[in-house]
Structure 1
Amino acid sequence: MAGQALYRKWRSQTFEEVVGQEHVTLTLRNALRDGRLSHAYLFTGVRGTGKTSLARILAKAINCLDPDPQARPCNHCAICTAITEGRQLDLIEIDAASNRGIDEIRDLREKIGFRPNEARYKVYVIDEVHMLTREAFNALLKTLEEPPPHVVFILATTEPDRVPETVRSRCQRFDFRRIPTAEIVEHLSAVVKSEGGRAAPEALVAIARRSTGSMRDAISLLDQLLSYGDEVLGLARVEGVLGLVNPQTIGRLVDTIAGADAAAGLALINQLVAEGVELGQLVDQIVAYLRGVLFVRVVQAPDLLDLPQDILEIVVRQAEALTPGVLLIALHEFIEARSALRDQAPGVPQLPIEMAFLRAVLPANSQATAAGAATAAVAVAAPAVGPALPKSPQARGADAPAAAPQPVASRPSSQPEPARPATQGTPPGEPAADLLTAAQAGWERFLSAAGKRCGMKVQAALRSVKEIDVVGQAIVLQFAHAFARDLVTEGGNRAQVEALWEELLQRKVQIRCTLVGETPAPSAAPLLRSAARPENDDEALLRGVQELGAVVTRLG
């Protein structure tokens, strides 16, 4: 005979046994004491927080035969015993995920008028109510608004936003919170002790963190781990079964980011992959760890983190070494890598993690080698694109060959150069500089939006952009690879890219796509036509080929 799962065996049977939802249980007990019973309740919250269990407890409490309202449910009378054993006909539980159509709701409406068989109230518990169809909700609405006096509805859902407002407004809503880690650990300790087992405290903490606030998930994991038969359930067993990475190892990886040691970090990632670590879980742990470092750096309150003391000391040290800018970039890259794991390359499933790590290391490396605060400020103002930031001609500096010195009129060194008058007009290149600054500042937002607007292929092609120039009112994207340039310019991709830039910059712009090293058209020939005279056919042809990315080297 199959044994009973621990999460069923330890399902809460009274209001006092419900863990972490005191704001709900206290309200319901007071309502029962004062006789203020509602005809419909809506329980919302993530899975495993006690919604269905509390629905059954409420059904027992409103039908309990104990004369003292404060003692209900007593779990000894015939009604309470029948509900606990699942044989009470007046408690009707409906799974809306599999009974979601209008026919099931019509059947409910036909039977709802009958009086209860044994209890005082007939209780309908509709689980995952958001799965009902629109027609089913409409059929339920009238009954929910004016139910018979002997009926109580309890609706449970993990997605309350998908429940129509007309339904929500007719129910008393209770939001179930994620259960804190400390309360889950305390409850798991009581379960282990009652089951005759032993577990190390750090093992229970790891289980509680993995459950992310769900008591049912935590007890299910504990049930699985106890089946190994260890004399004492230890942290090593939990990490091995659940695919967790030791926090010290995650700390070593973050140390390589702080030290800009790309080689050591990549070696550590590949070592974890060789050990069979689940990649999605690895990224989740890295993101959670980096969030802790950022929290300590910004809030300066490490005690608020739920971490062991030895890990907390490492986090505090790393928070002093890493700037918020580097931490934000690292978090963004690893979050992006989590979604990219679904499209991982064959044979190298860890590639998205390696790319995210390298993009996180490069900002740290550039800050470590910066000559001064001004250089660091420029690096923060211009977000990274892939492995490097697209650079303007002004920002390339040492990358470009030095220009030949221009002859100047000699003047005595004792006579300083006269200052330029403050009323002098704006230099002709100033609008282009403004456009370039805006384009660089909005590059990360543009890349993020490009994936949704233009597709992942175009976004990947745009990540190969190495430099950004501005010619007149045109943004010149200089690509590292010809195939990436061609992908962006083909079909309607270019029009979508231009429309996205105009939406972000709130101005009319055009896009040119070239390869790194190609010379864009001179800025003295702006793309916008002059209003002084209409352009002739030759000028129109020249402008057209320039818009398509051609570089004019000779005329005539």
Structure 2
Amino acid sequence: MENFVVSARKYRPATFRSVVGQQHVTTTLQNAIQSQHLAQAFLFCGPRGVGKTTCARILAKTINCTNLTPEAEACGVCTSCVAFQENASFNVHELDAASNNSVEDVRSLVEQVRYAPQQGRFKIYIIDEVHMLSNAAFNAFLKTLEEPPSYAIFILATTERHKIIPTILSRCQIFDFNRIKVDDIREHLRYVADSEHVTADDDALHLLAQKADGGLRDALSMFDQQVTFAGNNLTYKDVLQNLHILDYDYYFRLVDALLRENLSAALLLLDSVMQQGFDLHNFVVGTAEHLRGLLVCKDPITVQLLEVSENIQQQYVRQAQAAPLPFLLSALNLVSQCDRDFKQAKNQRLHVELTLMKLAYLNGAVQFVRDLAPAASGEAKKKTSSLGEPAVAPVAPSSNGHIAPAAATPAAAQPPAASPAPTLPQAPSPQPQAPHLVHAPAPADGPEPLPVESGVTELHDTPSIEPEATEPVAPRHQVRDTAPHVETGRPSMQGLEPTQRPTDVRPGTVPMPSMPALPKLPSLGGSRLPGLRDVGTAAASQAQAPSNKNLGAESAAPTGPLPPIAPELLQSVWQQLVDERRAQDKMGDYMILNRPVAADANHVITLMLENPVQVVQFNDFRAEFTTELRRRTGHPGLLVQTEVTTAAPTGRKLYTSNDKFAYLAEKYPALQEMKQRLGLDADF
């Protein structure tokens, strides 16, 4: 049985001229070879199946060719070319970075670079999927990549350029490979089909090229699959059936049914699509693409943007002529909304059917809006005339028989109640005739605004938004106190009205306002430095001593005894806070607070601690803890003070074995005798 070779390998390009769709890269490489301006490192980036590795091999083959053509192509007959084609060239080394991505692999590569080529001028190293190298391997490769020997050239290929470190990118010439156009892929598939003696429809090849999404290798793989399925006669229906793709005919039939407002046909078409196993989301996306194609075909200039075959393009043009532009725009908006909300819908089929219902009656809705437009404009005109603007202009016949508008007078602009409208002179006639009216045609978008110089005035007074004029405000006299305030402690009188100044003030003195007496806080115990509050209180008492005689009696008034705190309530709330600290994994706080407490008559809780370190730790969360304790107990005057316990003096401490033995020997003298008889040592 003959071994089968897939088309992607059998028809792989061997020269720069045979590369499909990458002329910007091949032209640059050919010019570099002709001018001998070859860089030491190349980086080929791009999506899969566009020819990165193929161009790297062609470049490696062409560089060492001894008989280049005038177009800088390899001859294919010299010793170097033949060795390359037979995979026996010692000057071309290809490395797969996906399986050789460690530092040891890069070190082995660097060791090979040291040896000059036996034949030819250059040694070429092709590293495919270079983004798979580890960071350590990249760093080990940096120096060799930047300053390689004169005979070494590196060609790196990757599909994910963003994963390569910038220090590698800066040392390479970067070539970006583009996705191959649909027409280029179709032409190459036609060449392969003719070479394989396969009869294929243009629509079938175009569908394969479109399904490949810019990758020639994917297109050739699908071509081989279709030939295996359908034989040497490849038709459009066979490709649709094998690739499980919705035909364009479905979308043409759907739009025809929607334009005819035939909802039943649209729903039956949707059911047929589902019965064949197609995904509803793909159907919605395909409908949106079809509507976009119809919009593109509305203008002959943009028809070229539609990447379909010639036959299908003509169908698009015919249907685009029958579909109104408002319908296409509104339908595309509804389908896009359905696409966005498809994933969140619980009943996805009903969601798509509701969209089809809206599309089916879209033309009727657009026509209904158009019918309402004239009526809306008529109401607007009627409202405008009711506001005082004349809808028709009265005219009077002139002496020569022509109809002329009546002259406008200033009185005509005033309201009817203020002054009656002047009567227009009528021409004598044997029979009474109706007054002649000249109707001014109104624009479609409503009446145009009148110019300022038209002489038309309002028929009523417009209220002003400005406030009514009031009596002028008399300037106020402000008293400014320039005396220093620090020494006397008197408040400034700047900005006060003369009537607001106190009248019972002796010259040169200002009484202090009475303040309620603050409760005296108990001492926290221990010697402590005076705080800012203490310093401020002392300074205030010294500065305001002469003027606070009357306040002393008020501040000395008793405030009354504090309500007692139930010990059970205090202990319960305290234990709750302690348990919460333990649940929060704050074991340091738990060890400090886990002890019985009690409050005295002044609502002061004394927390006995073992050492000053615990006092510092408690002070870190004292404010938060005290606030929560006050809130839960309902006593806002609770205070927690700390006190370090003093341990009672103990006897001597036993540290060594000799100390322990001496202590026991004092209590039990027989031990000393036993030690001497047995010859024992205390250091055990």
TM-score by length of 1: 0.60
CA contact (8 A) 1:244 1:281 kept: no
Kindly report which structure 2 residues correspond to 1:393-404, keeping only aligned pairs within 5 A, or say none: none
Counterpart Cα distance in 2 of 1:331 and 1:284 = 8
CA distance in 1, matches of 2:292, 2:92: 45
SS at 2:278's partner residue? coil
The answer for the alignment partner of 1:206 in structure 2 is: 207
1:509-544, CA deviations, whole angstroms, 9 ceiling, x for partnerless residues?
xxxxxxxxxxxxxxxxxxxxxxxxxxxxxxxxxxxx
Q: Using a 3 Å threshold, how does the CA distance of structure 1 residues 139 and 69 change in structure 2: closer, same or farther?
A: farther
Aligned amino acid, residue 27 of structure 1: T
Superposition pairs of residues 218-257 of structure 1, within 5 angstroms:
218-256=219-257
- Structure 1 unaligned residues grouped into runs of 5+: 376-410, 426-556
Deviation of 1:223 after TM superposition, in Å, equals 1.0
Aligned pairs for 1:267-278 (under 5 A) are 267-277=268-278
What whole-Å deviation, never above 9, does each CA across 1:303-349 have from its counterpart, x for those lacking one?
A: 442333432224523663445642552453365378x3xx997xx77
Corresponding position of 2:113: 112
| Structure 1 residues 254 and 330: alpha-carbon distance in aligned structure 2, compared to 1, 3 A threshold | farther
Which whole-Å CA distance do the structure 2 matches of 1:351 and 1:98 have between them? Answer: 49
- Residues 1:370 and 2:369 are matched in the alignment: yes
Q: State the one-letter code of the partner of 1:54.
A: C
Structure of higher CA gyration radius = 2
User: In structure 2, which of residues 316, 324, 348 is the aligned counterpart of residue 312 of structure 1?
Assistant: 316
Q: CA 1:157–1:262 in 2, change beyond 3 Å: closer, same or farther?
A: farther
AA aligned opposite 1:174: F
Contact 2:298/2:317 (<8 A) preserved: no
* Corresponding letter in the other structure for 2:337: E
The 3 A distance-change label for structure 1 pair 170 and 372 is: farther
Instruction: Name the CA shift for 1:350/1:149 in 2 (closer, same or farther; >3 Å).
Output: farther
Per-residue deviation at 1:181? Answer: 1.9
Match of residue 340 from structure 2? 336
Per-residue deviation, residues 473-502 of structure 1 (Å, max 9, x unmatched): xxxxxxxxxxxxxxxxxxxxxxxxxxxxxx
The one-letter code matched in structure 2 to 1:201 is D
1-structure distance, mates of 2:87, 2:322: 54
Q: Which residue of 2 aligns with 1:217?
A: 218
Q: Closer, same or farther in 2 for the Cα pair 1:305/1:68, shift >3 Å?
A: closer
Q: Compared with structure 1, are the counterparts of its residues 171 and 268 closer, same or farther at alpha carbon in structure 2 (3 Å cutoff)?
A: same
3-state secondary structure, aligned to 1:156? strand
Aligned residues: 385
The 2-side partners of 1:52 and 1:189 are apart by: 23
Q: What residue is the counterpart of 2:98 in the other structure?
A: 97
Q: Which amino acid aligns with 2:273?
A: L
Q: Secondary structure at the match of 1:370?
A: helix
* Aligned equivalents of 1:76, 1:334: Cα separation in 2: 61
Partners of 1:350 and 1:157 in 2: CA distance: 42
Q: Stretches of 4+ moved more than 6 A in 1?
A: 358-365, 372-375, 414-417
Residues in 2 aligned to 1:177 and 1:212: alpha-carbon distance in whole angstroms:
11
Residue 133 of structure 1 corresponds to 134
Query: Is the contact between residue 129 and residue 157 of structure 1 (CA under 8 Å) also seen in structure 2?
Result: yes
**Counterparts of 1:128 and 1:363, CA distance in 2:** 52
Deviations 1:270-324 (A, max 9, x none): 2112123355654553343233233345896224423334322245236634456
| Alpha-carbon spacing, 1:63–1:349, altered in 2? closer, same or farther (3 Å) | farther
Aligned residue runs from structure 1 range 437-476, under 5 A: none
Q: 1:18: Cα distance to partner?
A: 0.6
CA–CA separation in structure 2 for the residues paired with 1:418 and 1:261: 56
Give yes or no for contact 1:49–1:213 (8 Å, CA) kept in 2: yes
Instruction: Please say which of residues 149-158 and 132-141 is displaced more in the overlay.
Output: 132-141
Query: Does 1:10 pair with 2:14?
Result: no
* Matching residue of 1:52: 53
Shift of residue 50 of structure 1? 1.1
CA distance in 1, matches of 2:349, 2:111: 57
Deviation of residue 373 (structure 1)? Answer: 7.9
TM-score, length of structure 2 as denominator length: 0.50
CA spacing shift, 1:373–1:145, aligned 2, 3 Å: farther
The 3 A distance-change label for structure 1 pair 124 and 281 is: farther
Instruction: Deviation per CA, 1:14-50: give whole Å up to 9, x if none.
Output: 1111111111111111110111111111212222111
Q: SS of the counterpart of 2:131?
A: helix
Given that residues 287 and 334 in structure 1 are in contact (C-alpha distance below 8 angstroms), is that contact kept between their aligned partners in structure 2?
no
When the two chains are superposed, the root-mean-square deviation of aligned CA atoms in Å is 3.7
- How far does residue 237 in structure 1 lie from its aligned partner after superposition? 0.5
Residues 281 and 339, structure 2, Cα contact 8 Å, conserved in 1: no
Q: Deviations over 1:85-117 (max 9, x none)?
A: 333343222333343344433333333323235
Q: CA deviation at 1:145?
A: 1.6
CA distance in 1, matches of 2:230, 2:36: 49
In structure 2, the partner of 1:87 is 88
Contact 1:43 1:157 in 2 (8 A): yes
Helix, strand or coil at the partner of 1:19: coil
SS for the counterpart of 2:95 is strand
Q: Which has the higher contact order (CA 8 A, sep 6+)?
A: 1
SS of residue paired to 1:219: helix
Q: Which residue identity does 2:314 align to in structure 1?
A: D
Evaluate the alpha carbon distance shift between residue 145 and residue 423 of structure 1 in structure 2; reply closer, same or farther with a 3 A threshold.
Answer: farther
1:248/1:159 Cα in 2 relative to 1: closer, same or farther (>3 Å)?
same
Distance of 1:361 and 1:113 partners within structure 2: 74
Q: What secondary structure does 1:228 align onto?
A: helix
Amino acid at match of 1:77: C
Deviates more, 1:99-108 or 1:294-303: 294-303
Alignment-derived partner of residue 176 in structure 2: 175
Q: Which residue of structure 2 lines up, in the alignment, with residue 326 of structure 1?
A: 330
Which residue of structure 2 lines up, in the alignment, with residue 436 of structure 1? none
- Percent identity of the aligned residues? 35
CA drift of 1:160 comes to 2.4
Deviation of residue 12 (structure 1)? 0.2
How far apart in 2 are the matches of 1:299 and 1:424? Answer: 60
Q: Which has the higher helix share?
A: 1
Deviations 1:438-493 (A, max 9, x none): xxxxxxxxxxxxxxxxxxxxxxxxxxxxxxxxxxxxxxxxxxxxxxxxxxxxxxxx
Q: 1:137 to 1:249 in 2, by over 3 A?
A: same
Aligned to 2:124, what secondary structure does the other structure show? strand
CA, structure 1 residues 284+14, in 2 after alignment: closer, same or farther (shift >3 Å)? farther
Q: 1:369 to 1:126 in 2, by over 3 A?
A: farther
Q: Quick one: distance in 2 between partners of 1:194 and 1:95?
A: 32
Opposite residue 6 of structure 2, the aligned amino acid is A
Query: Residue 67 and residue 190 in structure 1: after superposition, are their counterparts in 2 closer, same or farther (change >3 A)?
Result: closer
Bigger shift: residues 128-137 or 142-151:
128-137
Greater alpha carbon shift after TM alignment, 108-117 vs 35-44 = 108-117
Name whichever of 127-136 and 316-325 sits farther off: 316-325
1:358 and 1:325 map into 2 onto residues whose CA distance is 16
SS of the equivalent of 1:76 reads coil
Deviations along 1:181-208, one digit per CA (max 9) or x if unpaired, are 2222221111111112211121111111
Q: Which residue of 2 aligns with 1:61?
A: 62
- The whole-number CA distance in structure 2 between the counterparts of 1:5 and 1:210 is 19
Per-residue Cα deviation, 1:376-415 (whole angstroms, up to 9, x for no partner) = xxxxxxxxxxxxxxxxxxxxxxxxxxxxxxxxxxx99x99
Matched, 1:156 2:157: yes
Q: Which residue of 2 aligns with 1:435?
A: none
Contact 1:126 1:155 (8 Å CA) reproduced = yes
Q: Contact between 2:186 and 2:209, CA under 8 Å: does it hold in 1?
A: yes
SS in 2 for 1:74: coil
